[in-house]
Amino acid sequence: MIDGKISVLCFGAHPDDCDFRFGGTAMLFRQLGHRVKFVSLTNGDTGHYSMGGGPLARRRRDEALAAARIADVDCEVVDIHNGELQADVRTRQLVIQLMREARADLVLCHRPNDYHPDHRAVGTLVQDAAYTVTVPNVAPLTPHLERAPVVGYLHDAFALPNPYVPHLAIDTDPVFERKIGMGDCHVSQVYEWLPFNGGILDQVPPDPAARRAWFAERHTRRFAAVADGARDTLVRLYGETRGRAVRTAETIMLSPYGRALPPGEYRTLFPFLPELP
């Protein structure tokens, strides 16, 4: 910690990944004055059907920065081509440097088992860096961390080779309207590329207010399903009454590759979780 503040670093493969999967939790950390940074390890320059390259990369960076302002988090987009992220030594050194510069206590990332090669690479890079951030002679020009951060995986639905386990589930209802605003910033994705790729581009309303409402309904359903899938975890962390009432949630699966976080210490790293009797 720096001056008693938790340092949270979230790695996504693409400029919208952290926002969708961790934006609500990030806002809860920021409301308590803790430090949060989002890093996209690619520039997203192929994620569209009618534009690409530099113009798309700049557009997606600007969308990510706009969303970060809503969440009041720091944001960095690394200039690596979308679809070309590699879990190699050079990129691992970059991840180590970013983790050290942030003096990260908590690092979030994708799991290495995922449909997208960039997501898989992010998970492997963070896992490979989680211990070596403490080794002084690895990337020696960046001061090493004295202890490894806790590493957590962002939500996914993949069951092979092992299913996702929601060790922590966070109630995002108090900040979900702002999270919708974050998603609304990613126009190139939520109103263009993802509907095109899903075959529903014709369903996107042309009017900005109507399309935001369209996105809000879909986004709410998505994270209501996350809450339902982690209902037992929500009840355990928030108590029976509130845990049953949570509508939207984000989840974290703790990784064995970082520092251990026993259940009795969850609230030291997630101080917005309530103290239960």
Three-state SS string across 47-83, please? CCCCCCHHHHHHHHHHHHHHHHHHHCCEEEECCCCCC
> Containing H/E element for 150?
strand 150-154
Q: What is the CATH number of the domain that holds 178?
A: 3.40.50.10320
Q: What pLDDT does residue 3 have?
A: 79
3-class DSSP assignment, residue 43: coil
The mean pLDDT values, 10 residues at a time, for the chain of 277 residues are: 89 98 98 98 97 97 98 98 97 98 98 95 97 96 96 95 96 98 98 96 95 97 98 97 98 96 94 87
Is 51 within a domain?
yes
* Total residues belonging to the chain: 277
Chain Cα centroid distance, residue 128: 18
Buried b / exposed e over 101-127, threshold 16 CB at 10 Å, is ebbbbbbbbbbbbbeeebbbbbbbbbb
pTM for the structure as a whole: 0.95
Report the share of the chain in percent with pLDDT over 70: 100
Which tokens in the block code for residue 203? 């369903």
Is 14 within a domain?
yes
**pLDDT digit string (tens) for 22-51?**
999 999 999 999 999 999 999 999 999 999
Query: Which residues are paired to 151 by β-bridges?
Result: 107
Count of C-beta atoms within a 10 Å radius of residue 167: 18
Is 2 within a domain?
no
Q: What pLDDT does residue 267 have?
A: 95
Q: ω before 112 within 30° of 0 (cis)? A: no
**For the chain, what is the domain count?**
1
CB 5 within 8 A of CB 34: yes
Mean pLDDT of the chain: 96
Residue 111 CA to residue 75 CA, distance in Å, equals: 21
CB 125 within 8 A of CB 91: yes
**pLDDT digit string (tens) for 73-111?**
999 999 999 999 999 999 999 999 999 999 999 999 999
Is 274 within a domain?
no
Determine the structural domain holding residue 82 and report its residue range. Answer: 7-269
Is 123 within a domain?
yes
Is 1 within a domain?
no
